[in-house]
Chain A
């Protein structure tokens, strides 16, 4: 158990819909990272937050957004969903903003029908 929690574990929705994925980091960790794992692309970095502020952006679509709240939990919002958005979404956390070891949650499996 990494100490990072993600909800829900599974999500099934239809194209065009909007969903919110939630992540709670390990106690004491200030950084939260979101990654997408699809069959053909492997694990891809989406976005990083540190203590409530956006720190880095990766291959995140404009239809996707995230935020980190004062209690340090984070939410990833996916809108106008397409079939290709079906993937595993992982959250990871670390102590600082300088990329020390990241610990991953169990993931949310999103299926878009």
Chain B
């Protein structure tokens, strides 16, 4: 039973355009969400997070939106750059329930075309 789903295994975007990566979750106890970027042969790199008390968090070119009623979050990258090409993982935890481990989606491979 996948509690965090990334339904698009891959996404191709032109350089300079917006990349939108989506993530859905089923566990209503999740209250803290993170996005990680992963290059081959490296560990996941933290990008941005959002608490369930917010609906938006921005950091430079990266913005995460959270829609709690739809149990949906998205990562926007504007403008997209070739160096953004990587696998992006959505992750969630239930801090309020004392559950600190991250539950990950299976990832979306983003390709930014020059």
A101 touching B100, Cβ below 8 Å: no
State the interface size on chain A (CB cutoff 8 A): 26
- Least CB distance from B55 to A in Å reads 19
Contact pick for A45, options B42, B43, B102, CB 8 Å: B102
Asked if B45 is at the interface (CB within 8 A of a chain A CB), the reply is yes
Task: Select the stretch in B15-23, B56-64, B74-82, B104-112 that faces chain A.
Answer: B104-112
Q: Closest A residue to B94 by CB, please name it.
A: A99
Contact pick for A99, options B43, B101, B107, CB 8 Å: B101
State the interface size on chain B (CB cutoff 8 A): 23
- Could you tell me the dominant secondary structure of chain A's interface residues? strand
Q: A99-B99, A104-B46 are in contact. List 15 more A-B contacts (CB 8 A).
A: A2-B46, A4-B43, A6-B43, A31-B100, A33-B100, A42-B106, A43-B44, A45-B101, A48-B100, A48-B101, A56-B100, A97-B100, A99-B32, A104-B43, A107-B42
List residues of B whose CB falls within 8 A of some A CB.
32, 34, 36, 41-46, 49, 89, 91, 93, 95, 99-107
List residues of A whose CB falls within 8 A of some B CB.
2, 4, 6, 31, 33, 35, 42-45, 48, 55-56, 58, 90, 92, 97-99, 101-107
